[in-house]
Amino acid sequence: MLGEGPCVPSTSHLPSPPPNTRQEKEKEEVMGLSTLPYDLLLNIATYLDLRDVHALHLTCSSLYDASTTRPVYRKLANDLLRRCRALPLKGFQRLSDLTTDKLIKAVNKATHYENAWRTRAPRPIAVEPYKNGISCHSNYMDVAPGGPLALQTEREGQKWYKIVSAPPDEEVDWLSPITSSYTLCATKSGKVVCWDVQTDTCLAEWNPGARWELWKCRVEFEERTVYFTMAKVLTGSYDDDRVMEFVLMRLTFSDGPSGESSRTPPIFSHVTEFRTTGVVMNVFLLDPSIRLLSAFIWVSTSNTIGLYALPDWNNKEYVFIDTGIECVMSSNWSCILYQQNIVIHCEESDAAYQHFYPLSLLRSYTATLDDTSATPVICGRVAPARTLKKKFIFPLIPSHDTDDDHDNLAESDADSEQDAGGPSSSSAPQNGGSSVTQTSLAPHNHSSYIDILLSMVPPSSQETSLSTTSSSSSTTLSSSSGPSSSSSSSSMVVSATLPPNPNPYPFPPWYPESAHFVRQWWPSLPNIPRVSCTVVLLAAHDQNTHRTRFVLAQHYFRVPLDHAEWENDPIQAGSSSPGSNQKEKQPESSHGGQVTVN
């Protein structure tokens, strides 16, 4: 007997609805990734690297069009510049001069350079035909169509290198590239020659008719101008009585924004000249726009650094003080202008120092030269208004890298000796002290070495997580700022601070054979902080075998070492006691070779 409830008709006989109606299909198409608004896609692109962007190119035409726009590649260019990787532009081009297609090519090429730079042991670039004299791999390989290099290429075929001529009948004393189109060359006779590397011809020449040495060169990219100083010794020996004369010259280019060389040759012009007393260590063109120049002079009587400055090189006023900073011969020195401060940057084997001299402080010691033949005199001893110190953070170089390298060198030495009838391989030294001239890292370990470099963090913030999981008895170290390496709920996290890595190349026995400081001059973007780079060639000489091993080290640093703390406590006239030492925190810096600054 049925109940009294309402009668519900059965629906089992009705057909089931289609799985996707037309409205649902249209809704799915509207919600697809390729149909998202461009501003949303651009926001997503900010989290992608170049490899991810290239992957988007392969999906569909709409995503290809969205990911090949100028904002996407400008962001990628911004990332490269923040990693201290210059974009390969032609001549005096700026980023704003590039079309979108050229910007894309520049970013792709710069990323390729970055990957190649991280690979140890240089490899020849691929040989491909030129297109209107342009190489797809390197701007330095470009040749002028119909020029001598282009004709030579047609005769001899494509090569992975290019030979550029030097001034005929001259000995080269100094040479440096000026963009990818030119080189500036100083000869033993005192000439300075601007050479076009694409046409292999001399564009301009300055001949003083006397023996001068080129000491300093600075490229003002926005002005398309190169400043350089020439020097010669007038009188005196290697002491405080030495008198030197300097000439400041300017080389002006008229190249356009296309990056192609102008048909109008560059022009040499005289800027100023000055004299110094004492042993000049180096000259620095701090800011040509305000005509500011400085020099380090060794004060032999006190073995300290003398600071010489021309506040305006068009005037006869100068500043010459004894800083009281000890001149350590194993240190590397540079001078940088930062926010109305002349900064003396000093690097020793384990730490870096920055001594700040406000221009307002230096102006109180201004003196005037009576005539051009007069020489400057030290005004007195003036301590820096502030001194910052940072210890270097050294990479963790696996011991087997150097051990393998030493073993390989010893084996090669033994083989060569045995071929020449020398002692057998068993008599080859195994202590690594008799290595031949080369870097001390094994070439086949470049991947792990770079990974170590890229994963380095300051010891002060290098907290690690020690995760112990129930599924594994091994322990894993991971960054405390990231997630644990195990997803198990029973993991135990213990915070620890790792000790700093020791200097793998301490002084002694490693000493700086030469050091080169480079202030960033290549084209950049307004929001990218400018950085400086130090490249040091370290050498260790074995007194028994008289063989020398070399290590090429590189790192980047900023002025000041800690920008945040600098903003909280900038130097004010009279606000800091002279010579006060204040240690700063870890700077926001990039590292590229052996060390970074802590």
Tally of CB atoms within 10 A around 366 = 14
Q: Nearest Cα to 137, choosing from 152, 125, 124, 121?
A: 125
pLDDT for 322 beyond 90: yes
How many angstroms separate the CA atoms of 586 and 355, rounded?
Answer: 17
Tokens of 402: 């150097």
pLDDT score, position 571 = 59
To the nearest 10°, the Cα dihedral for 64, 68, 72, 77?
130
pLDDT score, position 429 = 32
CB-based burial label for 340 (10 Å; 0-12, 13-18, 19+): exposed
pLDDT score, position 30 = 59
Angstrom distances, CA of residue 303 to CA of 298, 319, 452: 7, 19, 40
pLDDT for 587 beyond 70: no
Percent residues over pLDDT 70 in the chain: 71
User: What is the band of 458 on the pLDDT scale with cuts at 50, 70, 90?
Assistant: very low
pLDDT score, position 47 = 92
pLDDT for 461 beyond 70: no
pLDDT score, position 440 = 35
Angstrom distances, CA of residue 259 to CA of 136, 199, 224, 290, 593: 15, 15, 11, 27, 31
Residue-wise pLDDT for 376-387, tens only, equals: 999 999 999 999
Residue-wise pLDDT for 328-372, tens only, equals: 888 999 999 998 999 999 998 888 999 999 999 999 999 998 887
How large is the average pLDDT for residues 27-39?
72
User: What is the band of 583 on the pLDDT scale with cuts at 50, 70, 90?
Assistant: very low
Global pTM reads 0.72
Tokens of 265: 């040759």
How large is the average pLDDT for residues 576-589?
34
pLDDT score, position 134 = 73
pLDDT for 79 beyond 80: yes
Q: What angle do CA 236, 240, 244 make, to 5 degrees?
A: 50
Between residues 274 and 90, the one the model is more confident about = 274
How many angstroms separate the CA atoms of 297 and 322, rounded?
Answer: 9
DSSP code of 161?
A: -
User: What is the band of 278 on the pLDDT scale with cuts at 50, 70, 90?
Assistant: very high
Q: Which amino acid belongs to residue 407?
A: D
Token pair 């710069």 is at which residue?
110
**Residues of CATH 1.20.1280 domain(s) within the chain?**
36-117
pLDDT score, position 399 = 63
Pairing of strands 511-519, 596-597: unpaired
Q: Name every residue whose Cβ is closer than 8 Å to that of residue 33 and which is 6 or more positions away in sequence.
A: 63
CATH of domain 36-117: 1.20.1280
Q: Tell me the CA end-to-end span of the chain in Å, nearest whole number.
A: 90
Upstream peptide bond of 145 is cis (omega within 30 degrees of 0):
no
For 108-137, the DSSP string reads HHHHHHHHHHTSSS--PPP----BTTB-SS
Residue-wise pLDDT for 238-277, tens only, equals: 888 899 999 999 999 998 887 788 889 999 999 999 999 9
Task: Supply the mean pLDDT for the chain.
Answer: 75
User: What is the band of 307 on the pLDDT scale with cuts at 50, 70, 90?
Assistant: very high
3-state secondary structure of 419: helix
Q: What are the phi and psi torsion angles at 458 (to 5°)? A: -60, 145
Angstrom distances, CA of residue 252 to CA of 227, 266, 291: 9, 5, 16
How large is the average pLDDT for residues 187-213?
90
Highest mean pLDDT among 206-210, 289-293, 529-533: 289-293
